[in-house]
Structure 1
Amino acid sequence: MGHYVEVESGVKVFVEDIGIGQPVVFIHGWPLNNKSFEMQISEVVQAGFRYIGIDLRGYGKSDKPWSGYDYTTQAADVKAVVDHLGLEQIVLAGFSMGGPIAIRYLTKYGTKGVDKLLLMGAAAPLFTQRDDFNIGMQPAEVDDIIAQIQKDRPAFLAQFADMFFEQEKSEEFLKWFQQLGLEAAAHSTIHSAIALRDEDLRDELAGISLPTAIFHGQKDQICPYELGEELERQIPNAYLVPFADSGHGINGDEPDKFNEELVRFLKGATGPKTD
């Protein structure tokens, strides 16, 4: 079933809520929405868990206010959903931009009510390079993306879909993926790109005490694999699952392995499956 939850006065976000059991709160990436996890819903529910898929403000079916696209506000929106639905012992599962939002949630609200953390192709601890951090895009490359969105957003999203996946996809799949991005507002997409460009979570990792799994594609052109290695180094109780044949869209590139590792983690695995 779908819920609308008012996260602040006049701003409602859409939440997909399917199944029963321990809630797994999925936080999608830029510029998508919770539909990007459609290949996970059946697996999660059949394994005895409750799928909670949030469309972040500005995306999917949620309201699209002008402001509030920084990680702190987005994390507050997630907290409002958790509180409204009375969710307990949640698994926080953040993909791409959803990764830093999940980390900021823990920084801001602590681990009360949170059982574990899953970071998937996470844009953390930084999405862009700094003088003392050489992984990821240059800030100027994000500025160029913003300019492309302002000029021709549909064309940019088509190009982005090609960068997103390593494995060949059908034309229909790529059109569907592009449509997910078009469901967002242009201003939301741009304001979130600014957050991705500017925000820094390096000081927020050492305090994460939860069991943490990090899923990352080794051929990721958007959030390089080195980011996953950095997260594993800095989060005390984390393990890294490499996806050798995946780009950024690991759940689309290697869906069987992704779903298997997802369910293993939800059921208590403390390391990747060994062949």
Structure 2
Amino acid sequence: MDYFIKIKPGVNIYINEINPLGRKTILFIHGWPLSHRAYEYQFNKLPARGYRCIGVDTRGFGNSSKPYSGYDYNQLADDVRYIVDALNLKNFTLAGHSMGGATAIRYMSRYSGYGVAKLALFGAAAPSLTKRPDFPYGLPKEDVTEIIQATYNNRPQMLKDVAPMFFYKPITQALSDWFFQLGFEASGWATAECAKTFRDEALFSDLAKIQVPTLILHGIHDRVCLFPLAEAMKAEIKNSILIPFENSGHSLFFEEQDKFNMELEQFVG
């Protein structure tokens, strides 16, 4: 079923919930610049296995409201808390891809993991997507700045250019069109502001505050959130497990969907 959760006047978050009576709940947060529909190949399978799957369009993306501000990690984590409270979620698995993974980490830190039994991170943009003086493993900040500038100047071309970065192997025109369609549902300003967030913000101090079992799934060929980010998360998050995806880039939930679904199901239990 589909519905909206009101965060505040003028800001409504779109929810796609599948199998509301499922035995265990997974709340999925998508990555930039996509929407809940990126998890299509999880929503096709996991509800049939007895899971309640809740897909969220974060503010500015998909079917959600597109306010002009509020795209830092704190606000995005606050939005997740509104959703958790509105749905009275307890003992659920919080799952996030890319920037959605970073948002999930900030939620765990900011709200002491309220309601969360387990955390699942997929190609997460943490502890820092970009290089820093004491963290040489991310992308050059200049690369993200170019994406931001392209978003302001020619967003359709930016989406076309960025799409191949998400995948390990060369992609078909159909897959490029799918990526473009999901990305173009977002607002231009949200696309740019979120890119500024994952360029400039970091989550080093958040990782040690995570106190629940954590699954880290990461493509070894990821060209967006490089694989050393996964190793850094594994080193800092207590009770975490890292599973490399040998044949995936940033879109491991698509490129190795059977393995992805199996690992997630086994982890959630």
> What corresponds to 1:193 in structure 2?
195
Q: For residue 8 of structure 1, what is the aligned residue in structure 2? A: 8
User: Residue 106 of structure 2 aligns with which residue?
Assistant: 104
**CA offsets per residue over residues 99-132 of structure 1, 9 Å max, x none?**
1100110111112311100000000011111111
Aligned-pair CA distance for 1:169: 3.3
- Report if aligned partners of 2:32, 2:98 keep a CA contact under 8 Å in 1: yes
CA distance in 2, matches of 1:138, 1:13: 32
Residue 37 (structure 1) aligned with residue 39 (structure 2): yes
| Farther-moved stretch of structure 1 (256-265 vs 175-184) | 256-265
Secondary structure at 2:42's aligned position in 1? helix
What's the counterpart of residue 157 of structure 2?
Answer: 155
Residue by residue, what CA displacement relative to the aligned partner does 1:205-238 show, whole Å, maximum 9, x if unpaired? Answer: 1121100000000000110000001100110110
TM-score, length basis structure 1: 0.95
Quick check: 1:4–1:12 contact (8 Å CA) kept in 2?
yes
Q: CA deviation at 1:32?
A: 0.4
Q: Give CA-to-partner distance per residue, 1:150-207, whole Å, 9 cap, x none.
A: 1211111111111111134332122011110000000000000010011111011112
The reply to whether residue 164 of structure 1 matches residue 170 of structure 2 is no
Aligned residues: 267
1:221-268 deviations in whole A, cap 9, x for unaligned?
11000000110011011000100111111011111111111111111x
Q: Which runs of 5+ in 2 are unaligned?
A: none
The 5-angstrom pairing of residues 126-137 of structure 1 reads: 126-137=128-139
CA RMSD of aligned residues (A): 1.0
Alignment of 1:45-194 (within 5 A): 45-194=47-196
Q: Where do 5+ consecutive residues of structure 1 fail to align?
A: 268-275
Confirm or deny: 8 A CA contact 1:21 1:49 kept in the other structure: yes
Counterpart AA for 1:32: L
Note if contact 2:84-2:115 (Cα within 8 Å) is conserved in structure 1.
no
Work out the CA distance in 2 between the residues paired with 1:127 and 1:171. 28
Q: Name the SS of the counterpart of 1:150 in structure 2.
A: helix
Opposite residue 50 of structure 2, the aligned amino acid is G
Percent of residue pairs bearing the same amino acid type: 43
- Bigger shift: 253-262 or 175-184? 253-262
| Secondary structure of the structure 2 residue equivalent to 1:58 | coil
SS of the equivalent of 1:219 reads coil
Contact 2:95–2:119 under 8 Å retained in 1: yes
Moved more, 146-155 or 214-223: 146-155
TM (norm. structure 2) is 0.97
